[in-house]
Structure 1
Amino acid sequence: MLMPFIIIGSIGLLVLVISLVVGDVFDHFEIGEGALSGTALGIAAVVFGASGVFTTSSALDDVWVYVIAAALALAAYVVALLFIRKLAASSDGAPVNAVGLTGVSRSPITPAGGEVSLDGPQEIERRLAYADAPIPEGVRIRVVEHSGTRVKVVAD
């Protein structure tokens, strides 16, 4: 009775690991606009296997063990899929243009470089910066040019 749950749970764990290491294995298929996810399927299969193993020890009939395991696996799939979609929607990967943002120099800034903290809504870390004229640490700055990960600043 335990063997089907162990096999399906193991396959789910393998699919989950492959999806996390290599990337989602079902990304290339256009099934239901993203309704199929290798990560979510792996999670569902692992939940099916684990819940089947745990409920087998109860005094339930075999049919109810499968029904409970399938219901928990379906719930896990839906929750995982919703979570994956929310994460994918929040990480668009588009770089934000920092021109016009203000901030503070965190180190002396020269034409060779320095660091600034910017006041933008998505700015949580320091950025590498450079300036035509030296700017001392602690001075309010404004970004006038954005190139890759570096910004060109002037004293504000």
Structure 2
Amino acid sequence: MTVFLVIGGIGLVVLLASLVFGDIFESFDIGEGGFSGIAAGVGAVVFGASGVIALSSDLPLVWAYVIGVGFAVVAFAAAQGLVKRLSETEDAPPPPLDGAFGTTTSTTGPSGGEVRLEGVRDLEARLAWADEEIAAGTRVVVVAVSGSRVHVRPV
């Protein structure tokens, strides 16, 4: 029973570490889509839990290992497939805004304003500031980015 508890405990630590700190096996590109620490942790936890349950049901040790490995393989495959599907749906990083063109939608100056940028996928309108007052409707270019705000100058 100790083997099942130890492997299950290690799996729980790997699972929690992968959830809190990011996938710890991310740098190892094993197989298609890599090897997920989350899936490995799930597999080890299921192996430990199902082995303990099998032994608690007075099954022979051999059957506890067979049941543990069987459930662990199924759990690992399911978790790995889910992690892979979720990672394929991640959004691409937003395009760089430096050099993007747009139009001011309000008077924009050192105290702030707003611009509507062209060809930007994530947000059409952004808070902006400029070194000098720029009237609404003026064509501008982004010269710097600070968080979600953009620094603009007239074109």
Correspondence for 2:76: 77
TM-score by length of 2: 0.62
CA deviations over 1:32-67 (Å, ceiling 9, x no partner) = 133422121011101111111122111322222211
- The equivalent residue for 1:89 is 88
Name the SS for the 1:43 alignment partner.
helix
Instruction: Name the residue aligned to 1:51.
Output: 50
Query: Would the aligned equivalents of 1:16 and 1:42 in 2 still touch at CA under 8 Å?
Result: yes
TM-score by length of 1: 0.62
Corresponding residue of 2:32: 33
Structure 1: which 5+ residue stretches go unaligned?
Answer: 100-108, 116-120, 136-143
Number of residue equivalences: 146
Residue pair 2:26, 2:34 contacting (<8 A) in 1 also: no
2:19 is matched with 20
Q: CA–CA distance in 1 between the matches of 2:55 and 2:22? A: 33
Q: 2:12·2:45 contact (CA, 8 Å) conserved in 1?
A: yes
Kept in 2, the 8 Å contact 1:48–1:69? The answer is: yes
Q: Where does residue 5 of structure 2 map in the other structure?
A: 6
Overall identity of the aligned pairs, in % = 45
Kindly tell me: are residues 6 and 133 of structure 1, through their superposed partners in 2, closer, same or farther at Cα, counting changes over 3 Å? same
The farther-off stretch of 57-66 and 76-85 is 57-66
Contact map agreement 2:126 2:149 (CA 8 A) in 1: yes
Q: Summarize the alignment of residues 51-130 of structure 1 with structure 2, pairs less than 5 Å apart.
A: 51-95=50-94, 112-113=111-112, 128=127
